[in-house]
Chain A
């Protein structure tokens, strides 16, 4: 099932299929390893509900919900 990273529940894992956005933000996502095929696991939300923490490529990455909404993942394949 395809959904955005923002919609993932805590503990849910998926494979990145597409990265939207543009310019600096998009490139930053690529540079940090958010590229098609990367395995992502949703870890937690910050105390105030935003940003999010995910695990990918063996490390912890934090990103805002608005940024996570640009990333499409394939869950439970």
Chain B
């Protein structure tokens, strides 16, 4: 089967074309060595089934960015049967720059002139025949969004003859020089390789000698061939376009009008904050549009309001889907399965394993699927419409202070929903160190699954001591998470992940209405990925936890109240002392190990922390424990406070520990996939260190207020040290 590679600029409609060509049969993998996704699919258009490989979206084949190196290595190393170069017809000048580089490779090329529908709308015309003649390769007009011209494209692609590289560079002096460098490689020297050698900042000796002999020098660029060649490419493009395109007048476009508000000097930031709030409100709010009070005031006696809105609160679409999914699908289906297990006459332990272990564990994780998808949907709309680039534009100034670019903001904020899509989103960051730092701090943006810990434990704190209110505690913990994230980014960028702030030379793409098909495709991929994870990693780990908590070391099945003798209970007691500096370790006495176990079980899924309390409270207190209709686990925490006599500082430290330590299994697996090579083990250590340090500080300062003084002095000293050494470095460089 023939293989074709799809190449093109970001925003050229490459992904849309890939989806249109391959239908639903795509296969997602990773490029060897880098974290960029590699997508492959089968296309049956054009009379022959061919394999399509989607190269990363790139502007150029320069050797500086990992995506560009991947694309270059793929075309030169794996020798596809052809390259389909997707070109945005509304932005030809810059898009053809990559084309001029692709043409220099010894590979058949076909240009897919995309967005033909938009060209027509703008009353522009591109003469494909003339363009094809100028470039020396076929040019086919298509509209990936409308599915027009795809058969013609693939028919032309499968019949491409083999071809040697050609260059659009026509200046005699430069051409002769490139020719000589190529000859030095022998008869089969590749054109693109010769160009790369000339462009290199440090030329190899052979090339250097030819340059010295040839002496080609430009009046402006001298022997700066990198600048000369780039200039020659753009001049050739201008020349080609002058003869093949009907010039248009630049009018005030929709994009200009939208940007008058969206990146406005005064409105830009408030509008952005409003959009962000709306997204989280739509996804997570249990009091949609704050209608609860309004409805009750409006019609206090109405039966209709009471029935439809329950206790009066209208749920946001996200919460509504969450409830629907959990009541109908998860609870319904799993209830049926559980009932079947109980009625099947299996041994008690097997029923327990299936019901409490497997169904409970997978159910807890699957229950978050709707909200993750809703959040992901909104962020996909922002990305596909072109707004995400504006967000980076608006926020770059702030993020630069922390050694990041504005692009890092979106993945971080997505972390409030779920770390997994957030970590995947870091692919938009070109700089490896920036990506590493961002992936590491994403878990500190407390995700939806950590919310139950926050709500239950702060509820418990209120019953213990009459301080503040629950939402103040929850809110300040969120703020603490963000502060720790920004501080540790600053720390990492000043030490182990030191590097220049990545450049911010970025296209602000034309706004486009996101295609429904593409959005659905994104969501479907996401859901598939997530469900697969639930039934593999989470499935295995819940089985392990259940077994460890229900058997002792001689593999005797234990009753619920004997949980203290289980393998897990013993392990909990063993590691309990580790948490002593954090306030929830050995000082808690006989039942203190419960906190240790809860923290460990949280590594599988953060929801486990509270469900461990609930299970153990029932086991320890027996009939004396009554959770009532408490869904948030506050009673379970209160019960644990009762038996362990833990104090407020210890509880706060427990929350902070769980917020900043190693995230859940699924997030750890994602981090491993997304982090650059060799950064994973240090990341695990980083999470452990951050959580121990920050939780210890909270416990220390909370228990003995005067410890705040040395802690603050130490922190100040650290910041000053980093700032000073950065200054010193800058001076040394200058």
Q: Does B505 contact A (CB under 8 A)?
A: yes
Asked if residues B60 and A47 are in contact (CB atoms below 8 Å), the reply is no
**Option from A32, A49, A51 in Cβ contact (under 8 Å) with B393:** A51
Interface string of B563-575 (1 = CB under 8 A from A): 0000000000000
**How far does the alpha carbon of A23 sit from the alpha carbon of B224 in the complex, in Å?**
12
| Apart from the given pairs A24-B64, A30-B231, A57-B93, 11 other A-B contacts in the complex at a CB distance below 8 Å | A31-B59, A46-B268, A51-B397, A57-B234, A58-B92, A59-B510, A60-B508, A61-B505, A63-B503, A63-B505, A64-B503
**Option from B92, B227, B396, B509 in Cβ contact (under 8 Å) with A35:** B227
Q: Would you mind naming 11 contact pairs between A and B with Cβ atoms under 8 Å apart?
A: A18-B220, A22-B201, A24-B64, A24-B65, A25-B505, A31-B97, A33-B234, A46-B268, A47-B268, A49-B397, A58-B250
Q: Does B230 contact A (CB under 8 A)?
A: yes
Asked if residues A30 and B397 are in contact (CB atoms below 8 Å), the reply is no
Q: Does B62 contact A (CB under 8 A)?
A: yes
Interface string of B389-402 (1 = CB under 8 A from A): 10011101110100
Asked if residues A58 and B505 are in contact (CB atoms below 8 Å), the reply is no
Interface stretch of the complex, out of B38-46, B155-163, B258-266, B419-427: B258-266
The smallest C-beta distance from A55 to any residue of chain B, in angstroms, reads 8
Q: Does B734 contact A (CB under 8 A)?
A: no
Asked if residues B60 and A46 are in contact (CB atoms below 8 Å), the reply is no
**Option from A28, A34, A48, A63 in Cβ contact (under 8 Å) with B64:** A28
How would you classify the secondary structure of chain A's contact residues: helix, strand, loop or mixed? Answer: mixed
Q: Does B235 contact A (CB under 8 A)?
A: yes
B220 neighbours in A (Cβ, 8 Å): 17-18, 36
Asked if residues B263 and A31 are in contact (CB atoms below 8 Å), the reply is no
A27 neighbours in B (Cβ, 8 Å): 60, 62, 64, 226
Asked if residues B91 and A28 are in contact (CB atoms below 8 Å), the reply is no
Asked if residues B265 and A64 are in contact (CB atoms below 8 Å), the reply is no
- Please report A residues at the B interface, Cβ cutoff 8 Å: 17-19, 22-38, 44-51, 53, 57-64, 67
The smallest C-beta distance from A39 to any residue of chain B, in angstroms, reads 11
**How far does the alpha carbon of A49 sit from the alpha carbon of B398 in the complex, in Å?**
11
The smallest C-beta distance from A70 to any residue of chain B, in angstroms, reads 10
- Please report B residues at the A interface, Cβ cutoff 8 Å: 59-60, 62, 64-65, 91-94, 97, 201, 220-221, 226-227, 230-231, 234-235, 250, 255, 259, 263-266, 268-269, 389, 392-394, 396-398, 400, 503-510
**How far does the alpha carbon of A53 sit from the alpha carbon of B400 in the complex, in Å?**
17
**How far does the alpha carbon of A61 sit from the alpha carbon of B505 in the complex, in Å?**
7
Given contacts A26-B226, A50-B396, contact A61 B506 (CB under 8 A): yes
Asked if residues A46 and B97 are in contact (CB atoms below 8 Å), the reply is no
A60 neighbours in B (Cβ, 8 Å): 255, 259, 507-510
Asked if residues A38 and B268 are in contact (CB atoms below 8 Å), the reply is no
Return the chain B residue nearest A26 by Cβ: B226
The smallest C-beta distance from B22 to any residue of chain A, in angstroms, reads 28
B268 neighbours in A (Cβ, 8 Å): 46-47
B65 neighbours in A (Cβ, 8 Å): 24
Asked if residues B227 and A36 are in contact (CB atoms below 8 Å), the reply is yes
Asked if residues A47 and B94 are in contact (CB atoms below 8 Å), the reply is no
**Option from A19, A33, A62 in Cβ contact (under 8 Å) with B94:** A33
Return the chain B residue nearest A50 by Cβ: B397
Return the chain A residue nearest B264 by Cβ: A47
Asked if residues B93 and A46 are in contact (CB atoms below 8 Å), the reply is no
**How far does the alpha carbon of A10 sit from the alpha carbon of B97 in the complex, in Å?**
28
Asked if residues B64 and A46 are in contact (CB atoms below 8 Å), the reply is no
B505 neighbours in A (Cβ, 8 Å): 25, 28-29, 32, 34, 61-63, 67
A38 neighbours in B (Cβ, 8 Å): 234
The smallest C-beta distance from B12 to any residue of chain A, in angstroms, reads 12
Name the residue among A38, A44, A59 with the largest chain B CB count within 10 angstroms: A59
Asked if residues A62 and B393 are in contact (CB atoms below 8 Å), the reply is yes
Asked if residues A62 and B506 are in contact (CB atoms below 8 Å), the reply is yes
**How far does the alpha carbon of A71 sit from the alpha carbon of B108 in the complex, in Å?**
36
Given contacts A35-B234, A58-B94, contact A25 B503 (CB under 8 A): yes
Asked if residues B94 and A64 are in contact (CB atoms below 8 Å), the reply is no
